[in-house]
Amino acid sequence: MKQLLVISGKGGTGKTTIVGSFAVLAKKKVLADCDVDAPNLHLLLKPEVKTSGDFYGGKKALIDAEECRQCGKCIELCRFEAISGDFQVNPLLCEGCGVCFHACPYEAVSLIDDLSGNWCISETVYGPFVHARLGVAAENSGKLVAKVREKAGELAEEKGKDLIIIDGPPGIGCPVVASLSGVDLALVVTEPTVAGIHDLTRILGVADYFGVRKAVCINKYDLDQEKSKEIEGYCAENGVAVAGKIYYDPAVGKSLAAATPLINYAGNKMARQIIKLWQSVEELL
């Protein structure tokens, strides 16, 4: 079974738009949204949830008011100022470090599992889909990404699918690292801007570090042909394949407004570019 990860060094490059079109074009696949902090692939795929589960990402402190003698030791020691003057723990500030739990002389503090989000297995007209959502100010997004990938792997085995297409998170943080490990190919979607090039080099460096094969898609390449050439030059120098170039088209905005995968909405020229990109990716896989 192969795993394709679509990522970007920064948000807003068109990563999810491309995954939405791959969802239409690819056969025998499971789709997974690992952008657990800000998932939006479901808006294009319109999933029907079949199974779901809670995600407990860490611990939070809880003070038992009946046992607490109000000595103030926990307030004094909490580095995150998560305990108020009336001995209540603010769950948004508590990092679950456990210092108050160990320091309390009266065993008035417990550490409880923190409900940090949930995951879902859904059906879509394009195939099975695993997705998740992290709660507000919740931590351990990397662990939730791992859960989504674990469920996607199980689902692919169960349903006899030979490909998992992952919509990855933007940036280079913990959820990106959790998305990258063990994939067969990382397709990095970039755009010809100063920020786009800067973030592209960073994410390619992260992929290198983890020994993941990579390819690049230049989205909106015609908006700055000079910068697009710069990206192509950088990729050539560093042995990274440019799998495709997509030109700017107002149809992208319209397809997003209509919550429809771009390939179902675009004109022939755009559709040809996306199909060509998908064929290159398939070959690289």
Binding site for ligand SF4 (CB under 6 A): 61, 63, 68-74, 78, 80, 82-83, 87, 89, 94-100, 104, 106, 108-109
Beta-strand runs (E) in 125-207: 127-134, 163-170, 185-190
One-letter amino acid of 18:
I
**Which string of b and e fits 19-51 if b means at least 16 CB within 10 Å?**
bbbbbbbbeebbbbbbbbbebebbebbebeeee
CB of 164 to ligand SF4, least distance (A): 36
Nearer to ligand SF4, 83 or 246 (CB): 83
Task: Please tell me the distance from the alpha carbon of residue 282 to that of residue 227, in angstroms, as a whole number.
Answer: 26
CB of 69 to ligand SF4, least distance (A): 4
Nearer to ligand SF4, 64 or 162 (CB): 64
Nearer to ligand SF4, 81 or 157 (CB): 81
Joined tokens for residue 137: 């100010």
CB of 104 to ligand SF4, least distance (A): 3
CB of 30 to ligand SF4, least distance (A): 37
| Residues with Cβ within 8 Å of residue 206, at least 6 apart in sequence | 172, 176, 177, 180
Nearer to ligand SF4, 94 or 185 (CB): 94
Nearer to ligand SF4, 114 or 191 (CB): 114
3-state helix, strand, coil split of the chain in percent (to 5) is 40, 30, 35
CB of 142 to ligand SF4, least distance (A): 20
